[in-house]
Structure 1
Amino acid sequence: MRKTGPHLTHTIIVHSTSISSRRHLTHHSYTPAKSVCTARRVMASTHYNPQLGATLKNERYTLLRKLGEGITAVSWLVRDSTATGSTKKYFAAKILSAEATAEPNGPAREREFLQSINDYADKVDDDEGLGYLPALFDSFNEGPHLCLILSLYSTSVSALRRSAPTKCLPVYMVRSIIYMTLHALGVLHNLEIVHTDVKLDNILFSNDRFFLDANLDKYLQQYPVQLSNPEPQPIPHSWTYDTSAFEAEKMTVSLIDYGHAEWSEGTPLGENFCPLSLRPPEVLLSSGFGTAIDIWSVGCLTFELLVGRWLFHPEDGGDDWTIEEDHLAKMQELTGQRFSADVLVRAKKGAEYFDSQGALVRIPELIPVSIEQAMQNYNISGLAEEDIKESADFIRACLQLDHTKRPTAGELLKHSFAMKAWNS
């Protein structure tokens, strides 16, 4: 029995003559990829594992505490011993694993993309999007590990969303977060950079609470580092899931992590871009590559922030259908669109899934449900009908199945949903 999108939960629909019979999908949240355990074992064996108080770059940077860790890198709070006067002395050091550093065309390319952002910032000082992007202050190798000295940030939008009882955020907060993310993408896309991994874990709150080093000095004294087997201790911010609209106007976020980024021109070096739930049709079908990949992610994340659930949660049907086929079906069901002949002609994998009439071979029957209906089903408190209509229209614009027809980040900033940021 095939499950459709996140709409109309617990409703049973039976079609006795069709293998695409299914019940509707129940509530879901993020789940780790199946390969995480194996990947973490590799990560642990090749990560840089210093003692607290160790130094980098000839004793210039002192490691004070672990901020976070991932598959390819660990981030540390560091103090710059050369800082004097009003010069900033606290930074984040992103130290890549030996494996990630050595991998050809791998995560170490992040330095290349960050430098491109820096070069642009040196030439232009009035682009709002630069305020929502990280700055690279230094880079060097510590043995087999690439070290990137970056702006210091707090925790992620994902962490804030998960802290809410309903796992969603108020519409005024979502508008502002999406507005800033679009501005960041506008800069990246103008630089011909495709992020490819726009997700809530990669949107961090700025370190406004400790903008002054003296304030961070006091915090570090009050909350000392864990000395034995230190777990990540990120720098906190002042926001909560129910921060008022007035206070939320002070929020600033930045789009980080360029370890999977690609240049929009030329042949991309990777393949399976984006987490599965955020993966656009052109990646599934191999029908093209470009900045529109990031726009699709923005649409999915807008729904997730407002509703607290994935927009797409494709599932494997075993012998009946693949997870990719289910994903492609749900894309059509929720957007009300069909894949055009032009898209399928461009798609290298089109014949694997579609017949000559443009229908999915193994899921011929679709059950359209509008994005508005999907949002209404969750009865989110504070999300008015007008908000649902406006945000659904914005999401639908991001989710054009033909990536060549998706609006740019700049065009989306002119949508009424984004234009109401800080004016809720």
Structure 2
Amino acid sequence: MSPNSESAAHFSPRLGESVQDNRYTILRKLGEGATATTWLIRDERIISDSKYVAAKILTAEATLDVDRGAVRELEFLEEIAKNAQERDEEGFEHLPILLDNFTITSPGGNRHLCLVQTLFSTSVSALRRSAPTKSLPVYMVRNILYMVLQALDVLHSSDIIHTDVKLDNILFTNALYSLDDALDIFLAENPAETDGDSPKSQPVPHKWTYETSAFHAERMTVALVDLGHAQRAGEQLTVDAFGEPALRAPEVILWSDIGPKIDIWAIGCLTFELLVGRWLFNPEDAQPDWSVEDDHLAKMMELTGQQFPDAMLARAKERDRYFDKNVPDLVPVKLEDAMANYKIPGLTEHEVRLAANFIRDCLKFDYKKRASAKQLINHPFLKNVFGC
């Protein structure tokens, strides 16, 4: 392996290289994020099915953060793997399962944590972006949300806050090449590609498209991945920022009462995004004394018709930063109107109404009134989940 000069840089194995006492063979790069790269590897100890898995290799800096306890991904993945063996809950089918972990040391002495996990395909984000309207059919959206909520129900019941629920972190399972023989053939017909000496990202494909029928969409399965920013509810937070800015709950911006319900707020935002192909909140900094966060909080009030509870503001560390200034006149917009304005084909008035109610239940300013994952699973909007 060839180390990078900086500890924050990615550590890339050579294709065909064996690691961990020759147990795993690196086959191709699957993807890359800010703190890790993911690789398709073959477990040479497995003779029967399921010899192909994924290896998430953290940067040296992220590995140090794991050692210091700032990043608790390994801890949470180990807990999920243990609970999956002890508890019979569907939610575990929609989470990554840790199969092995070890540390690789570069010639330069940098340590890189390697997390061997379930092999997945591409993201729901990629599928949404492939559609002409950048949206997905409502039957597909219901199915995806249902599975993600099952995953969150499992996490929240263990006091784990994901903190980074977004479409890039919702991956389709590897159903198309779930058998080793099928993946053997695919890899032989589609060899790994490089750009110079650097392997290109080549995720394992799936067969789904934005035009997949309701009947066939019943077979779609997804998982909520990447616990690299996850936190334990009720314990001291190890980072000072969470999630995609457009998906942040008000308590994250105000720094007040941060808990599992920030994941539910993100679900509400993603529901809108999946159905209409646009962000629910797209805040801007309009003038020097009006920040992106100011605009975000104002848009929250405009789209939900709510005011921030006094009790919430009293506990907010950043209250004076955002509320000690003149707020421009708000222009209330009903969620139903905001969704209907995009005139998405196939999205009926009835479904818009149900979806808007679902989103509102996710976007309560008071986190205690915000629906739980378990409650949302039984919401009327998801009543016909996995139905044609």
| Residues 1:156 and 1:42: Cα distance change in structure 2 (over 3 Å) | farther
Give the distance between the partners of 1:272 and 1:71, measured in 2 at CA. 15
Give the distance between the partners of 2:210 and 2:258, measured in 1 at CA. 35
Structure 1 gaps, min length 5: 1-40, 356-360
Give the distance between the partners of 1:261 and 1:178, measured in 2 at CA. 20
CA contact (8 A) 1:139 1:147 kept: yes
| Structure 2 residue corresponding to 1:168, chosen from 118, 135, 147 | 135
| Structure 1 residue corresponding to 2:62, chosen from 72, 75, 100 | 100
Give the distance between the partners of 2:141 and 2:119, measured in 1 at CA. 23
What one-letter code is carried by the residue in structure 2 that aligns with 1:379?
K
| Structure 2 residue corresponding to 1:220, chosen from 187, 194, 201 | 187
CA contact (8 A) 2:124 2:172 kept: yes
CA contact (8 A) 1:303 1:309 kept: yes
| Residues 1:45 and 1:411: Cα distance change in structure 2 (over 3 Å) | closer
| Residues 1:275 and 1:138: Cα distance change in structure 2 (over 3 Å) | same
SS in 2 for 1:149: strand
What is the match of residue 252 of structure 1?
A: 221
**Runs ≥4 in structure 1, deviation > 3 angstroms?**
41-45
| Residues 1:44 and 1:231: Cα distance change in structure 2 (over 3 Å) | farther
The question of 1:310 aligning with 2:263 is answered: no
Give the distance between the partners of 1:57 and 1:412, measured in 2 at CA. 43
| 1:38-59 alpha-carbon deviations (Å, 9 max, x no partner) | xxx9989632122111111011
Give the distance between the partners of 1:106 and 1:157, measured in 2 at CA. 28
Q: Which stretch shifts more, 162-171 or 345-354?
A: 345-354
CA contact (8 A) 1:55 1:61 kept: yes
What is the match of residue 396 of structure 1?
A: 360
| Residues 1:220 and 1:44: Cα distance change in structure 2 (over 3 Å) | farther
| Structure 2 residue corresponding to 1:387, chosen from 325, 346, 351 | 351
What is the match of residue 79 of structure 2?
A: 116
Q: Which stretch shifts more, 271-280 or 340-349?
A: 340-349
TM-score using structure 1 length: 0.86
CA contact (8 A) 1:75 1:95 kept: yes
Give the distance between the partners of 1:346 and 1:139, measured in 2 at CA. 40
| Structure 2 residue corresponding to 1:420, chosen from 380, 384, 388 | 384
SS in 1 for 2:164: coil
SS in 2 for 1:79: strand
What one-letter code is carried by the residue in structure 2 that aligns with 1:339?
F
Give the distance between the partners of 1:90 and 1:101, measured in 2 at CA. 24
Give the distance between the partners of 2:316 and 2:382, measured in 1 at CA. 32
RMSD (Å), alpha carbons: 1.4
What is the match of residue 409 of structure 1?
A: 373
Structure 2 gaps, min length 5: 106-110
What is the match of residue 48 of structure 2?
A: 85
What one-letter code is carried by the residue in structure 1 that aligns with 2:343?
N
Task: Count residues in correspondence.
Answer: 376
| Residues 1:189 and 1:222: Cα distance change in structure 2 (over 3 Å) | same
The question of 1:297 aligning with 2:266 is answered: yes
What is the match of residue 201 of structure 1?
A: 168
| 1:212-247 alpha-carbon deviations (Å, 9 max, x no partner) | 110000000111111443210000001001100000
CA contact (8 A) 1:136 1:150 kept: yes
SS in 1 for 2:185: helix
What is the match of residue 278 of structure 1?
A: 247
The question of 1:373 aligning with 2:332 is answered: no
